[in-house]
Structure 1
Amino acid sequence: MKTFLVTGAAQGIGNAIARGLAEPGDRAILNDLQPSAALSQLAEQLCARGVDVVLALGDVADPATAEAAFAGLERLDVLVNNAGILDESPITEMSLAQWDRIIQVHLYGAFHFCKAAAALMKRQGSGAIVNIASDLGQLGCANLCHYSAAKGGIIALTKSLARELAPFGVRVNGVAPGGALTPMVERLGEDYIREEAARYPLQRLGTAQEIAAAVVFLASSQASFMTGQILGVNGGGVMNG
C-alpha cells in the first residue's frame, strides 16, 4: 500500500497517471484547479477499486495549495508533478502576464510541491518524485518560448533535486513526453494534430496511457537504481547520441 499525489489529475495525462498508479489499499491525493465531472468520475472509479481518495483542489501556482495538500500528511511515497497549461504566442506579442502564468503553473507549481514532498520524504528516508517535462524543454519551439523555458526548467530542477535528495533515499526523475492526444491538444484542431504527428519518426502522437506507463515505472521499485533521469516518451522526436 502506498500514498501518492498527482497534480493536474482530472484529465489527460494526469488522469491516466492516477489510474496507472492506483492499487487496492492505496491512498490517492488528487489535485486539480477546481471540481469537475472528470475529476469526480476518476475519484468514484478509484474508490470502487478500493483506493482511498482525497481531493486537493487549488492552483498549483499558489504555494497555499501545496501546503493544504500536505497538511497533516504523515507519509508520501510518490509525487507526480503533472499540472500544466498551454498558451501559444510569438514573443513579440507575448504579454508579461502570459509569460508569468505559464512559468508559475509549470515551474513554480513543481517547486511548491517538490519542496513540500522533499521535507516529508527526507524524514521518512524514502520516496519517488516524477516531474512531467516535455520534449519542447529539450528542443524548444517557436511561439512557445514560455512553455519551453518552463519545461526546460523542470528538467534542470529534476536533475538538481536528484543530487540533493539521493543521500536521503529519495529518487527524482522526469518524463519528457512528445505530443500526445490529450484534451488540451485536441482543442487545437485536426490540422494541428496532423502537422504535429508528422514531426515524429513514428508518425503519430502518443497516448496518455503510454506516458503514464513511464511514470508508473519510474515510481516503482523496478526503477530503484534510477534517479536524475529524463525518460523521453516522444516517438523518436528526441534522440540522444
Structure 2
Amino acid sequence: MTLLNDQVAIVTGGAQGIGLSIARTFVDHGAKVVLGDLNIEAAQAAAAELGDAAFAVRCDVTSESDVRGLVASAVERFGALDIMVNNAGITRDATMRKMELDDFRLVLDIHLTGTWLGTREAAAVMRPRGSGSIINISSISGKVGNLGQTNYSAAKAGIVGMTKAAAKEVARDGVRVNAIQPGLIRTAMTEAMPQKAWDAKMAEIPMDRAGEPAEVGSVATFLASDLSSYMTGTVLEVTGGRYM
C-alpha cells in the first residue's frame, strides 16, 4: 500500500539519520522528496540513493532566504508542496556551568528558528491550496529534560509549543501541523555515546530496545497521509514507552 502517491515533500536535515529514513519511507510510499541540508555533498549522495524521486538543495535552516528558496525549489521542480518535515538539528551538550552562550544560541537557532521558518514558508504555499501536512521533529528531551542539554531540551520543548500555536493559525485553511518526539533511536550519533550512557537510557525503556530510524519514518508517513486527516496540534511519542 502506498499512502503518499504523487505527494511532494521536503525534509530538512535529510542527508542522514532520522531525516534520511523519513525521506526513504516517503519515497517508498510514492512521494517525491526534496532533501534540504547544509551538507550538500551528503544530501546529493542521499538523493542519488533514493533515485529519480528525490533531489538535494543546500539549505541553512536559520537563513530566511535559504528556507524560502528550498520551498520554491520544491514547487519549481515538482509543481507543489504537500508535506514539510522540519527535522534539521544539532547538539552542543554541556552542563550550564560549562556551556558557552554561543552554543546555547546556536542550538536554539537551528532547532527553533529553523522549524519556525520551515513552518511559515511551507504554510504560505499550502494555505492557498487548502491542504498540507507540516511535521516538526521534537524530542522526548523536550518533555522531560536531559542533563547537559539545557539548550537542546529548551529548543525541543519550544517546538511543541510552536507546533500547537501554528496548528491553530492554519487549521481553517486545511493545513495540519503535528510533532513527533523520538526517544532513543539507533543512529550514528546515538551509537557513538559512551556505553554507560547508552545502558542508562536503555534501562528506562519498557520495550527493552532502541528504536530504529524507520520507525520514526513510519509515524511521519502516518502524519503526512490522509490516515491522520483529523489530527492537528498533536505530539506523538516514538519512545518504546520511555517516560510515559
- Common fold: TM-score over 0.5: yes
Confirm or deny: 8 A CA contact 2:11 2:35 kept in the other structure: yes
Q: 1:86 aligns with which of 80, 87, 91?
A: 91
Per-residue CA shift, 1:202-227, capped at 9, x if unaligned?
Answer: 22221111111111101111111111
Q: 2:128 & 2:198 partners in 1: Cα distance?
A: 45
2:207 pairs with 1:202? yes
Instruction: In structure 1, give the amino acid aligned to 2:197.
Output: Y
Q: TM-score, normalised by structure 2?
A: 0.91
What is the match of residue 221 of structure 1? 226
What is the match of residue 46 of structure 2? 42
What is the match of residue 192 of structure 1? 197
What is the match of residue 58 of structure 2? 57
Q: Tell me by how many angstroms 1:140 deviates.
A: 1.0
Within 5 Å, give how 1:46-195 maps onto structure 2. Answer: 46-47=50-51, 50-51=52-53, 53-71=54-72, 73=75, 75-195=80-200
Q: TM-score, normalised by structure 1?
A: 0.92
Q: Tell me by how many angstroms 1:42 deviates.
A: 2.4
Q: Tell me by how many angstroms 1:58 deviates.
A: 2.4
What is the match of residue 3 of structure 2? none
Q: 1:235 & 1:54 partners in 2: Cα distance?
A: 32
Q: 2:9 aligns with which of 4, 24, 27?
A: 4
Partner secondary structure for residue 176 of structure 1? strand
Partner secondary structure for residue 71 of structure 1? helix
Q: Percent identity?
A: 37
Change beyond 3 A, Cα 1:26–1:216: closer
Q: Tell me by how many angstroms 1:186 deviates.
A: 1.8
Task: Name the Cα RMSD after superposition.
Answer: 1.6
Instruction: In structure 2, give the amino acid aligned to 1:14.
Output: G
Larger mean Cα displacement after TM superposition, 195-204 or 94-103: 195-204
Q: 1:148 & 1:10 partners in 2: Cα distance?
A: 23
Q: 1:15 & 1:64 partners in 2: Cα distance?
A: 23
Question: Where does structure 2 lack aligned partners over 5 or more consecutive residues?
Answer: 1-5
Per-residue CA shift, 1:74-116, capped at 9, x if unaligned?
Answer: 5210000111111211111111101011001100100111110
Confirm or deny: 8 A CA contact 2:40 2:57 kept in the other structure: no
Q: 1:32 & 1:16 partners in 2: Cα distance?
A: 14
Q: 2:67 & 2:55 partners in 1: Cα distance?
A: 14
Q: Tell me by how many angstroms 1:61 deviates.
A: 1.6
Larger mean Cα displacement after TM superposition, 76-85 or 22-31: 22-31
Partner secondary structure for residue 55 of structure 1? strand
Q: Tell me by how many angstroms 1:23 deviates.
A: 4.6
Q: 2:88 & 2:199 partners in 1: Cα distance?
A: 25
Q: 1:25 & 1:132 partners in 2: Cα distance?
A: 22
Instruction: In structure 2, give the amino acid aligned to 1:44.
Output: A
Question: Where does structure 1 lack aligned partners over 5 or more consecutive residues?
Answer: none
